[in-house]
Amino acid sequence: MVTDDAGQGGTAAGRNNNTGHQGGAGHSMVQLITPAGERVSHPEYDPWLKDVSDEQLCSLYEDLVVIRRIDKEATALQRQGELGLWPPLLGQEASQVGSVRALREDDFIFPSYRENGVAYCRGVDLADILRVWRGAASGGWDPYTVNMAIPQIVIGAQTLHATGYAMGIQNDGADSAAIVYFGDGATSEGDVNEAMVFAASFQVPLVFFCQNNHWAISEPVRVQSHTQLVDRGTGFGIPSMRVDGNDVLAVMAATRVALDRARRGGGPTFIEAVTYRMGPHTTADDPTRYRDANELEDWAAKDPIGRVHALLDRKGLFTEEFETGVRTKADAVARELRAGCIGMPDPEPLDVFKHVYSTPNSWLDRQQDHYSRYLATFGDPEAATQEEGAR
C-alpha cells in the first residue's frame, strides 16, 4: 500500500513551491510525493488512494513515460515536416495522467489542444491524436467512442460546453460527471468566468481542471491573475483545491475528491494543478525570447517522472525487468505513432465541401459542382494539386 509508506507523518503541502508571485489567501499546495520521491502522508487525501496498489503505481509510471515519448516523437515528426504544428506537454504529464485516470468511462472530457496525454490514456487512436496537427482534419476522433470532445483551440470555449454537458447529466439523473481542461491564461477569458457562474448556480457535476503551467505563450501567469488561480473558483462559490501538478498521486486524489462530490450532487469543483510547461508553447514558439533559463532549471528538478521513478526505487519496484518493459512499451507506441502519421491518407480535394451541413444545400452543391468542373479542366485533379504547390 502506497499510503503506508510515508516514512514521516505530518502535513504534506509543499509551501516551497515555485514562482509564488501571486498573493491571495494562500491555499497550501497538496503534495503527496516530494521531488526526491518521498511519499508524504496527508490525512485528507490519503484515504482516496487506498486502492492504489504497487502494480497501479507502476502503470501510472508507464503512462507518464509513454506520454513523454509520444510528445517527443510528435515534436520530431513536426521538425521533419510530417506535422504542421505540435503543442508539447513536456512537464505536464502528471497533471494529465493523474486526472484522467481518476475518471470512469462514462465521465465526459472537454480538453483544450494540449491534452494529448489525456487522449492517449483515454484510448484515443494514436493516429487520431495527430490528425489535426497534420492538417488532415479539423477534429481528430469520434467523441462518443471515447467520451472525450475533440480538441478546442479557442481559449476557454470548452468550459461552457462542459458546463452544459454537466447540466445534461444532471437533468438525466445520471451519476457520471464531466471534466474540463484549460490553462492559466484561459482563466482570463469571459467564457471561463461565465462557465463558473453557470456551474455554481446550477450545481452541476463538473470538475474545472486548470493546468497552471505558468505561461500563456509569452505571458507569465501574473499577467492573468493577482491571486492564486485557485481563488478564482472560491470566488464563484466553487470548492477549490490547489495541488502539485507534477505529483501524479496528488492530482489523482484531488480529482477523485472532486468527482465524488460531483456524483453525490455536491456540484462543481475547481482544481488548480500547479505545473510547468518545460517546452515551447508550440513548435512555432521561441521561449528564449521571454523566459529565463534558470526558471526552467528549477522546474526540471521537480520533474513529474523523476519523482515517481525515485518513489518506485525506494519501494524496490524499479527493477531492471520493469524498466525494460516500460521502455519496450514506449518504443512500440512511438513506432505506431510514427507509422500512423506517415501512413495517414491525404484528404481528397472535394472533402472541402463535406460535413458543412447535415443535409444537401443548394448553394454549396453548386459551388462543389463548379469546382469539380474546374478541377476536370486539368485532366487529373491530383496533377492540379501538385501544380499549385500542395504539400
Ligand X SMILES: Cc1ncc(C[n+]2csc(CCOP(=O)(O)OP(=O)(O)O)c2C)c(N)n1
Q: Which of 173, 190, 316, 343 binds another protein (CB under 8 A)?
A: 190
Characterize 206-218 residue by residue with b for buried, 16 or more Cβ atoms within 10 angstroms of its Cβ, and e for exposed: bbbbbbbbbbbee
Are residues 183 and 213 in contact, defined by beta-carbon separation less than 8 angstroms?
yes
Q: Report the C-alpha gap between 15 and 372 in whole angstroms.
A: 64
**Is residue 184 near ligand X by the rule CB under 6 A?**
yes
Q: Which of 27, 281, 309, 338 is the catalytic position? A: 281
Q: Which of 136, 199, 271, 311 binds another protein (CB under 8 A)?
A: 136
DSSP state of 372: H
Q: Which of 15, 47, 324, 374 binds another protein (CB under 8 A)?
A: 374
Closest separation in Å from C-beta 223 to another protein: 6
Q: Report the C-alpha gap between 67 and 62 in whole angstroms.
A: 8
**Is residue 117 near ligand X by the rule CB under 6 A?**
no
> Judged by CB, which is closer to another protein: 144, or 363?
363
**Is residue 352 near another protein by the rule CB under 8 A?**
yes
Closest separation in Å from C-beta 187 to ligand X: 8
**Is residue 342 near another protein by the rule CB under 8 A?**
no
Q: Which of 1, 36, 154, 376 binds ligand X (CB under 6 A)?
A: 154
Binding mask 206-225 for ligand X (x = CB under 6 A): -------x-xxx--------
**Is residue 36 near ligand X by the rule CB under 6 A?**
no
Are residues 214 and 184 in contact, defined by beta-carbon separation less than 8 angstroms?
yes
**Is residue 385 near another protein by the rule CB under 8 A?**
yes
> Is 338 part of the annotated catalytic residue set?
no
Q: What is the SS3 string spanning 169-232?
A: HHHHCCCCCEEEEEECHHHHCHHHHHHHHHHHHHCCCEEEEEEECCEECCEEHHHCCCECCHHH
Are residues 278 and 296 in contact, defined by beta-carbon separation less than 8 angstroms?
yes
**Is residue 183 near ligand X by the rule CB under 6 A?**
yes
Give the length of the chain: 391
Q: How far is CA 112 from CA 207, 293, 306, in A?
A: 14, 27, 26
> Judged by CB, which is closer to another protein: 123, or 347?
347
β-pair partners for 183: 211
Which element (helix H / strand E) includes 271? Answer: strand 269-274
Are residues 82 and 136 in contact, defined by beta-carbon separation less than 8 angstroms?
no
**Is residue 36 near another protein by the rule CB under 8 A?**
no
Q: Report the C-alpha gap between 8 and 164 in whole angstroms.
A: 44
Q: Which of 1, 36, 153, 339 binds another protein (CB under 8 A)?
A: 153
Select the binding partner of residue 359 from ligand X, another protein, none (C-beta < 5 to 8 A, by kind).
Answer: none
> Is 290 part of the annotated catalytic residue set?
yes
Q: Report the C-alpha gap between 391 and 81 in whole angstroms.
A: 9
**Of residues 263-282, those binding ligand X (CB under 6 A):** 277, 281
Stretch that binds another protein, among 39-47, 253-261, 335-343, 366-374 (CB under 8 A): 366-374
Stretch that binds ligand X, among 27-35, 65-73, 179-187, 296-304 (CB under 6 A): 179-187
Cell 472535394 belongs to residue? 350
> Judged by CB, which is closer to ligand X: 62, or 184?
184
How many other CB atoms are there within 10 angstroms of residue 357's CB atom?
10
Q: Which residues are catalytic?
A: 277, 281, 290
User: Residues interacting with ligand X, by CB under 6 A?
Assistant: 114, 153-155, 183-186, 213, 215-217, 277, 281
User: Residues interacting with another protein, by CB under 8 A?
Assistant: 84-85, 113, 132-138, 153-155, 185-186, 188-191, 216-219, 223-224, 284, 289-290, 346-349, 351-353, 356, 363-364, 367-368, 370-371, 373-374, 376-377, 384-385, 387-391
